[in-house]
Amino acid sequence: MVRRLLLVLPVAVTLVTHDVRAQTCVPAKTALVLAGGGAKGFAHIGVLEIMDSLGLKPDLVVGTSIGAIVGGLYASGYSGVQIDSVLRTLSIGQMIRQYEPKVSSALGLVRPLAVWEKGEQGYVLQSGAVREGEVNALLSSLLLRGNLQARGNFDSLPIPFRAIATDVATRGAVVLSTGDLARAVRASAALPVVLRPMHIGDQWLVDGGIAENAPVRAARALGAQRSWISLLPFAGPDPKTFDDPLAITTVLLNSLFEQDSVTAERRDVLITNATMPFGNLDFSRATTDSLIEVGRVAARAAFAAATCLKPLSTAVRTVPLPRMVKQIGFSGVRIVDGDVVLDELGVSAGDTLSVGKLDLGITSIGHQERYRGLWLQPSGSGNDVTFHVQLDPAPKQSFGGGVAFDQFMSGRLWIGGIDRTLLNGDAEGVALVRLGTYEQDADVYVRRRALVGKRYVPFTIEAQLKHESVRLFSGDGELPSAETRELVGFIGLKQDVRDDMWHGEIGLDARLWREPLRNTRGTFGLRASVYHAATEYEMGTIGELLGFYDFQRARFDVSRRWRLAGEIDVSARLRAGWGNRLPVQETFALGGDDGFAGFRIGELRGTQEVFGSLLVRKRLNAMLFVRVELMSGEVASGYGVLRRVPGTTSGETFGGVRAGLEATTPVGPIRVEEGIANTGQRAILIRVGRWF
């Protein structure tokens, strides 16, 4: 009998233990707490994927910085896999960069060394770490669905949500629960120095990590009885990197944040992601993939060890999107700005809401440098939504300058700026001066938005003054330069050059010019062009037509780049030009600003040109590339198209190869290359910066 009791006793004890645990594991208000940490926040996505696989849904989401971004998406109804997919389609890493300031796309594809902007207290140096308008538009687009669901109240989301920011004045935590969802998340992620503080209500707010990087206290103050806490630990500073200014800056920024010294209670689930080896601003695909897996591993282990995982609610609410736009109001802008914005957003009061058009419009406005941010600030209920649009204007004035050098064309300097206060802010003025050994010019234009049909277009009046010493060569020697002077006037429509977008200009052009041994000449006619920039410093495609009474000129220049495996990229380029009775300053130099392998830049020149090249670049390390470029082309003069003229270079086909090294530097690329032509001629090209 005793023996039987001894055998049954362990089973009975186990049953009693399980019964006690079952009685103590009761539903409780559960918060998902997501810490801040920049790119490390991709580990949160791995955590969410494990939660989704286990069918776990919290009653509340509280996030700081990147935790607010991921948390805002999750609270809007996105799954972990969907958030991963959405974030991969966005160029987050391209928006956070080393110091790369920019004045305005209105100046063209020039790269400044420094930019000053007019702020409330005078001119200040632009941070240049991000394109703020693009970042704000990215967040508005990213959180558009949640913003429309919440309509000003974050408790109305499928899962109630809070974003944590820091009050600049008090350094205290600010819990954001109402207003524009994207704006609240942007305030939570306002990393000092990198992003400007956000002004919401009567407070200036910066990154919430300064006050509470892992916002457990905030979650408990909101009534959470249990927390699932996803931490992103920081690595300690490495003294070996202290000689790197960027590394020490990162260390100092990290020191501003309250470290994740969280005391978890017995009922909490603490997920300590192994993010110490990763950088806060490394958004590369390989890094983010690794971080997501780090989150999966940490979450799988943490939830497996948990004794109780019962939130109050077991299902996520379904919150439909509004279908009708009831009203639209604006603050902080003039009426004409409101009309332009409505035109871009594709919304109007009383019409059906098209979320797709609205999303495209937000992205488009993010590329318009006239504004730093657009916040919809929706409100309403049921099927209706009202937008109280807040536009943050860009600095009224900004200016900057840059330089470039090569051993053929010598040094070159530009200074330019933009003023957005003309005609009481309804027009903007742009000025650009470029100075060099062989070419100097000053370009000034005023642009005002004009209503054509139902769209606003940039109506432009422009004046340009040029002086160019056109270099002329004979054999191995150089002839005296042809000194030319030119005055150009233009009136028409002119759009800015922006990367990855098609733009153009069309209008009437009138000009006066003088060439050596000829009287002053003048003409007028049509000027039209289309262009598509590959990057903010490199033109991808341009087509141009000058149809004047005195001469005609047409050119086409297209380039395309492909990224191959093994850090190799290949670029192909094709140029073609034709002219009739061209002044010497309008003739084509074979290869353009880069010239032709083996020849001096501008040595081969004519009224017709055809040129093609294939460039292969291989990355050697973080800043160094090896370059090899094959090219072929010809130029000709006269009335025949590329007619061969014996005894001259006119119509002769040349081939060549140019090879060397390229280094990435704060002033732009530095290239050292040697070129050789099929004629046996050799020439070295040394260039600092991007030519303009």
Q: How far is C-alpha 109 from the chain's CA centre?
A: 15
Identify the top-confidence range among 29-38, 82-91, 442-451: 29-38
The per-residue pLDDT for 4 is 41
pLDDT for residue 52 = 94
- What's the mean pLDDT when you consider all of the chain? 86
Average pLDDT over residues 118-128: 77
- In the structure, what pLDDT confidence band is assigned to residue 98 with cuts at 50, 70 and 90? low
Structure pTM?
Answer: 0.81
Q: Give the pLDDT confidence of 516-534 residue by residue, as tens digits.
A: 988 899 999 999 999 988 7
pLDDT tens sequence across 184-198: 999 999 888 778 899
Residue 535 has pLDDT above 80, yes or no: no
The rounded distance, in Å, linking the Cα atoms of 289 and 281 is 14
Q: Between 234 and 375, whose confidence is greater?
A: 375
Tell me: pLDDT of 132 over 90.
no
pLDDT digits (tens, 9 = 90+) for 147-156: 999 999 999 9
Identify which has the larger pLDDT, 130 or 51. 51
pLDDT at 256 over 70: no
Least confidently predicted of 87-91, 159-163, 607-611: 87-91
Q: Which pairing describes strands 161-167 and 60-64: parallel, antiparallel, or unpaired?
A: parallel
- Using the predicted structure, report yes or no on whether residue 399 has a pLDDT greater than 60: yes
Q: How far is CA 680 from CA 375, 604, 648, in A?
A: 62, 15, 16
pLDDT band of 395, cuts 50, 70, 90:
confident
Phi, psi of 25 (to 5 degrees): -85, 80
User: Encoding tokens for residue 7?
Assistant: 């055998």
> From the CB of residue 95, how many other CB atoms can be counted at a distance below 10 Å?
15
Task: Report whether 403 contacts 411 (CB < 8 A).
Answer: yes
Encode 38-50 in three state secondary structure: HHHHHHHHHHHHH
Q: What percentage of the chain has pLDDT greater than the value 90?
A: 55
Give the mean model confidence (pLDDT) for residues 23-50: 91
Sign of the four-CA dihedral 205, 210, 214, 220: negative
Q: Distance between CA 143 and CA 381 in Å, rounded?
A: 18
525 vs 646, more confident: 525
Half-sphere exposure at residue 405, Cβ-oriented, CA atoms within 13 angstroms:
7
CA distance 227 to 237: 30
Helix axis angle for 285-305 and 42-54, nearest 10°, is 40
Distance CA 572, CA 588 (A): 20
Which residue type occupies 143? L
pLDDT of residue 335: 55
Q: CA dist 280 to 194, 231, 635, Å?
A: 12, 14, 52
Q: Token pair for residue 51?
A: 């939660």
- Distance from C-alpha of 194 to C-alpha of 190, rounded to nearest angstrom: 8
Look at residue 453 in the predicted model and tell me its pLDDT. 64
Q: Which of 37, 47, 123 is nearest to 84 (CA)?
A: 47
Q: How many helices (H) and strands (E) does the chain have?
A: 15, 32
Mean pLDDT, rounded, for 316-328: 89
pLDDT at position 484 is 96
